[in-house]
Structure 1
């Protein structure tokens, strides 16, 4: 790696950049009841739009961050994204209505896309194949500590100030991570490797990328699993609060779930070199699909009480756990033949998956009726729809130009 920092520091830095997204979403979860009570008491479900708006904005920003970084270099676009993110945080902090907060969160999401996308492109600039997947798994492992802690941090901030104080925390987080990145990492994309920014060049690169079956199928699967993830993030707090009456315990449970799920990336990093990326993705998604089917059976049979609560916790843990076993591998499989357009590839994949998943999850979340049925049915349909594409990926050949061992 052409950098003055150690691999350990590189992983920590990239993890913090990727974690900007998780921190920006999960720390807001404890604030949802307060925001709903203050701004939309007649329709509490609208408070969830604060989460969805960030996700959609992130998808929009993702579409442009990679191509711009391919032209102007990785660091300059990270700095631009950080500036937009901070602007959105300030506007949301000052906004008096839910509509203005939603608009500010779109801006904040656009800005957060820069660090999220470009960190993956930087990994691809410097690594390839299973080693790239292994490194991404370590980054995901460190990054998962942030979403585990975020609701606890959000709760603490609310107790010390108010829900608006969370937006101040976003500003501080972005300033620290961007300053660290700017001071310690040398530019990984030299001018000689950059692509001119033009519509025709982007279109040709997009056609090249979408002509590869492995890339297409990876995007389809990512749309489904991100839809499942965003739905869980949107509904887990109101489920704890309104269905199980455990609002006060939510942040602690989320921390325990997140802490346990942090091991998923370590498990992936341990076994991906032995069993291959596609085998791990297939197994993990099949397990979650089976658990979701069991949850549907329990719900239809009218299960409730502590047993049903713990079944829900186990199910949600499996949903979050699979992310560490799937996303890094799916990205690595799709990125292997795309090193020469890594920024654009990461952008297009991230944009399509994030925007569509944000829309799908918003539709499911707005159906919340103080039962778990909308979430369970939505998750079951999405995972079932992903399986044909995943099976197709299992039968595709890996790109011949990749230097890593065959999967």
Structure 2
């Protein structure tokens, strides 16, 4: 592939998961009414259960991709995602929908593992961070547009149309993969699928302090995104009465992450992954303190929330691709398995963090502000341990 097509393709692969999370957000209230969901917070499980499957599936796809190659695993799981989307659209109970969402997450888990592994097959360090940042910049356009697209689909039919649309997009990516994607893992670099090799790869991934440390850091910051996404409809519509403006307001916050990724792609090779991500964590802590002060003073409005949330999402956006690149740097020779283990840690950790914050929603933005402050402090402490107290100093390729 031409480099530009390659970046666009990686972004499209990642977008399968992004659409899987965000496209149905405007439909959560309708889904709740149609499938007789009694508690408003229970609607969040449509997002959360998907992320559980997304996290768990990653443990499988890394070893398979290291053994069989990237291309066949991606093709098989895209087919599975299409089938799961049809099952979701056909659900007649909330439990059946959650089962279909779990299956969707299990299938889409490959997109995260393989996107990272395919990029890592040809790049590392700051170059990998730059490529991932450009891909994520395109990828973040999806959350900006997804709720609006979902709202548009609702104008033409029931919430089930959204899941048919998900299957349709996955079919387009599948066709692109079949026609244009070469295999990026040479046969000579493939690893036998054995318990001994898995144990060795898991040990290397879990015992390297950069690999495990930055994977956990990514889990914490990603948890902030899950908390925002799962509770966004309630905050904007129920608390602030935004109504149909919800999709626009959500898009503004998502756009801030796209801006962050674009800025990171331009700056990371000059400033380094560590300087940018550590500064972003400090800024997240400061913004969270300001947000708490505003809330406690009784001055929280839709405007204040939008400003502080967008800035916080910018900080999180500056952390994501950099944490991922730093976690992968010492384990590039087992990129598939390492990516799956790190992805499992990141996704499941994010679900736990995001669900704890999201399920604490009780009509105000206070749980989100407190959650972001705790995330920032925990990530800073973790970086301090991983870097042995040497903040803002480059290590390895970062």
- TM class, shorter-length: over 0.9
Give the structure 2 partner of residue 246 of structure 1. 242
Give the structure 2 partner of residue 270 of structure 1. 266
Moved more, 314-323 or 166-175: 314-323
Give the structure 1 partner of residue 90 of structure 2. 94
Give the structure 2 partner of residue 45 of structure 1. 41
C-alpha deviation, 1:105, in angstroms: 0.4
Q: Which runs of 4+ in 1 moved over 6 A?
A: none
Partner Cα separation in structure 1 for residue 307 and residue 44 of structure 2 = 23
Partner Cα separation in structure 2 for residue 133 and residue 196 of structure 1 = 29
1:161-202 deviations in Å (ceiling 9; x for gaps) = 111100000000000012102211210012211101112211
On the 8 A contact 1:296/1:377 being kept in 2, the answer is yes
Give the structure 1 partner of residue 350 of structure 2. 357
Partner Cα separation in structure 1 for residue 221 and residue 74 of structure 2 = 26
* Structure 1 residues 406 and 342: alpha-carbon distance in aligned structure 2, compared to 1, 3 A threshold: closer
Partner Cα separation in structure 2 for residue 249 and residue 85 of structure 1 = 30
On the 8 A contact 1:69/1:118 being kept in 2, the answer is yes
Structure 2 unaligned segments of length 5 or more: list them.
none
Partner Cα separation in structure 1 for residue 224 and residue 42 of structure 2 = 19
Give the structure 2 partner of residue 327 of structure 1. 320
Structure 1 unaligned segments of length 5 or more: list them.
none
C-alpha deviation, 1:41, in angstroms: 4.6
Residues 13-32 of structure 1 correspond to what in structure 2 (within 5 A)?
13-32=9-28
Partner Cα separation in structure 2 for residue 319 and residue 112 of structure 1 = 27
1:100-125 deviations in Å (ceiling 9; x for gaps) = 11111010001111122101100000
- Any idea what SS the aligned residue of 1:262 has? helix
- Any idea what SS the aligned residue of 1:88 has? helix
Partner Cα separation in structure 1 for residue 316 and residue 87 of structure 2 = 31
Give the structure 1 partner of residue 372 of structure 2. 379
How many residue pairs were aligned?
Answer: 394
Partner Cα separation in structure 1 for residue 157 and residue 169 of structure 2 = 17
C-alpha deviation, 1:364, in angstroms: 2.4
Partner Cα separation in structure 2 for residue 297 and residue 71 of structure 1 = 53
C-alpha deviation, 1:134, in angstroms: 0.8
Give the structure 1 partner of residue 5 of structure 2. 9
Residues 3-402 of structure 1 correspond to what in structure 2 (within 5 A)?
5-304=1-300, 308-395=301-388
TM-score by length of 1: 0.93
Partner Cα separation in structure 1 for residue 24 and residue 286 of structure 2 = 30
- Any idea what SS the aligned residue of 1:370 has? coil
C-alpha deviation, 1:40, in angstroms: 3.4
- Any idea what SS the aligned residue of 1:126 has? coil
C-alpha deviation, 1:396, in angstroms: 8.0
Question: What's the Cα RMSD here?
Answer: 1.6
Partner Cα separation in structure 2 for residue 342 and residue 406 of structure 1 = 16
Partner Cα separation in structure 2 for residue 406 and residue 295 of structure 1 = 35
C-alpha deviation, 1:130, in angstroms: 1.1
Partner Cα separation in structure 2 for residue 247 and residue 25 of structure 1 = 20
- Any idea what SS the aligned residue of 2:241 has? coil
C-alpha deviation, 1:228, in angstroms: 0.9
On the 8 A contact 1:88/1:105 being kept in 2, the answer is yes
- Any idea what SS the aligned residue of 1:376 has? helix
- Any idea what SS the aligned residue of 2:279 has? helix
